[in-house]
């Protein structure tokens, strides 16, 4: 059956390309597919051990697609539900993200307004069982599958909560979950409305429009749209969001690919919400795809000031194609071009090096374009912000502490010991509170390796190879001792950065994304810069002017 399925897929591919390519290439494709089919048959029949035909074929498919770009994916039937959730933001369950933290399956984000949150589950609760089935030590995919189910069905969860001796049982009724694209929208002062947009699933533009309308009713005179770390999503939602701020009929983005009939220009089809209100868009190196369409189009029309860091540079469009047996192929079919005519794709997947790696487009190949008002912009490397803000960098101890899960666990501990916190806007961790964290980390016997450790070990290995180690051993011992001494004081040296990270994690435990954002409102570098730009109307105008 597996071989017949493979032959069927191959014949479909041959038929699809036979009318569009030269006969020599058609012969090469037919020859290669025939070799692959006969090779698979021989391996399946004669290989010394039993092979899993499905796994073998999927390995071959994924190996082939790995030669293209990371966005072209094979989606087998069993993964369709996960793919649907990612693209639509909808599923049926209890409405909570789960994750493994220090070998425990815990609630990491109970979505506001859904069964888990309404029922009283908290960030940090450890899931012990689901419907009587012990899930300790199980993969999150298994636990997630147990929590999902048909709407209006009951699920019983048992959790351990820090500070509570006995396990707590929750009876929840599953329901359809539609994750909001906007995770926060509030007036951050009397004149400025702030929107944190994290997704581009269906409804994103409507949510943004509703938020802006609310702001204007409250007297907002300026708007900040935060697209930092937004990896993108629906092209249509991106077009409709841009349409909120530019006149009807203006082009937002166009796509160009191999199949000319699929090339399309996407224009603003509706009357805009507001074409005059001053607008800032926050971007980062992880702003990609639909985020870049929104930010780039608004930049090309001189409609918004971009603040932050250079964006990711994903100017590729994916289309989902149906395969046999309910499988699907998400395939890159085109590049998109924003109104100035530039494509912001930063990685050149077409020209791979001999070792298979890919590079960014070199500066020599970048071309100059102009915005509607005559400002110079460039293609081939993502979007450059109009106002750059240096990205915060962290030392190895900070990164390792966060990755270890100890920051998360300490936030859980802090909240269990301090259950009452009203507003996160004024929440600050005291010096005494930070020292308690340092003491607690020491009790957990936290260890980590730095780049200096690695370099010192490499130097010692080299010295041994070159027969110098015995002579230099005292100096090496002294070096290692200095490194260890510095590691012992690392938490004190990194106190400012770790304090901010702790405050954000604790605030998230208390009030989820709302708390996490509000605790940093007055200290967020990009938000601070946006407020400075808004405070000076002439500065805002000059940034958007070619002169």
Distance CA 168, CA 418 (A): 20
Task: Specify whether 129 is catalytic.
Answer: no
Residue 484: φ, ψ to 5°: -65, -40
Residue ranges with strand state E in 261-344: 264-267, 279-283, 305-308, 316-322, 328-337
The position carrying tokens 């490397």 is: 381
Q: How many CA atoms lie within 13 A of 387 on its CB side?
A: 23
Residue in 69, 300, 386, 524 annotated catalytic? 300
Q: Quick one: DSSP state of residue 66?
A: T
Q: Tokens for 524, please give them.
A: 């967020």
Distance CA 107, CA 120 (A): 11
Q: Tokens for 255, please give them.
A: 């796509």
Residue in 289, 291, 297, 340 annotated catalytic? 289
Distance CA 172, CA 168 (A): 13
Biggest distance spanned by C-alpha atoms of the chain: 79
Q: Tokens for 338, please give them.
A: 């924003």
The position carrying tokens 């102009």 is: 370
Q: How many CA atoms lie within 13 A of 118 on its CB side?
A: 10
Residue in 69, 314, 386, 524 annotated catalytic? 314
Nearest to 201 by CA among 177, 165, 236, 171: 236
Task: Specify whether 221 is catalytic.
Answer: no
Q: Which residues pair with 256 in a beta bridge?
A: 335
Task: Specify whether 289 is catalytic.
Answer: yes
β-pair type (376-378, 251-257): unpaired
Residues carrying an active site annotation: 289, 300, 314
């Amino acid at each position: 059956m597996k071989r017949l399925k493979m032959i069927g897929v191959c014949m479909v591919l041959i038929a699809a390309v036979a009318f569009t390519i030269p006969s020599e290439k058609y012969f090469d494709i037919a020859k290669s597919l025939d070799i692959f089919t006969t090779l698979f048959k021989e391996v399946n029949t004669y290989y010394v051990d039993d092979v899993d035909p499905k796994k073998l074929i999927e390995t071959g498919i994924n190996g082939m697609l790995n030669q293209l770009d990371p966005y072209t994916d094979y989606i087998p039937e069993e993964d369709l539900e996960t793919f649907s959730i990612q693209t639509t933001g909808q599923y049926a369950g209890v409405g909570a993200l789960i994750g493994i933290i220090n070998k425990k399956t815990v609630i990491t984000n109970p979505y506001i307004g859904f069964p888990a949150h309404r029922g009283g589950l908290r960030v940090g609760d450890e899931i012990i069982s689901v419907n009587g089935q012990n899930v300790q030590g199980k993969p999150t995919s298994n636990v997630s599958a147990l929590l999902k189910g048909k709407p209006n069905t009951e699920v019983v969860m048992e959790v351990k909560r820090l500070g509570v001796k006995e396990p707590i049982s929750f009876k929840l009724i599953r329901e359809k979950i539609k994750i909001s694209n906007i995770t926060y929208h509030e007036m951050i002062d009397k004149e400025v409305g702030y929107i944190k947009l994290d997704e581009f699933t269906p409804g994103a533009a409507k949510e943004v429009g509703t938020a802006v309308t609310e702001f204007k009713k409250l007297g907002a005179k300026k708007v900040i749209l935060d697209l930092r770390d937004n990896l993108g999503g629906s092209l249509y939602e991106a077009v409709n969001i841009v349409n909120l701020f530019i006149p009807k009929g203006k082009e937002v983005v166009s796509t160009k690919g191999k199949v000319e009939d699929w090339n399309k220009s996407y224009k603003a089809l509706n009357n805009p919400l507001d074409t005059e209100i001053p607008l800032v868009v926050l971007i980062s190196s992880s702003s990609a795809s639909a985020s870049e369409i929104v930010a780039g189009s608004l930049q090309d029309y001189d409609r918004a000031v971009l603040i932050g860091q250079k964006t990711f540079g994903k100017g590729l469009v994916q289309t989902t194609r149906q395969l046999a047996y309910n499988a699907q192929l998400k395939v890159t079919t085109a590049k998109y071009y924003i109104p100035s005519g530039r494509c912001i794709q930063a990685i050149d997947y077409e020209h791979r090096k001999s070792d298979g790696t890919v590079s960014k487009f070199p500066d020599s190949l970048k071309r100059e374009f102009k915005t509607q008002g005559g400002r110079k912009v460039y293609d081939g490397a993502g979007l450059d912000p109009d106002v750059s803000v240096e990205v915060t960098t962290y030392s190895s101890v900070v990164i390792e502490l966060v990755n270890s899960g100890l920051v998360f666990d300490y936030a859980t501990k802090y909240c269990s010991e301090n259950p009452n916190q009203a507003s996160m806007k004024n929440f600050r961790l005291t010096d005494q509170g930070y020292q308690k964290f340092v003491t607690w980390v020491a009790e957990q016997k936290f260890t980590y390796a730095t780049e200096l450790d690695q370099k010192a070990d490499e130097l010692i290995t080299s010295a041994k190879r070159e027969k110098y180690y015995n002579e230099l051993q005292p100096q090496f011992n002294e070096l290692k001792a200095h490194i260890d001494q510095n590691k012992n004081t690392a938490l004190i040296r990194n106190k400012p950065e770790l304090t901010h990270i702790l405050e954000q994690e604790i605030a998230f435990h208390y009030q989820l994304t709302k708390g996490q954002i509000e605790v940093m409102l007055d200290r967020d570098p990009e938000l601070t810069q946006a407020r400075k730009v808004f405070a000076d109307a002439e500065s805002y105008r000059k940034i958007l002017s070619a002169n």
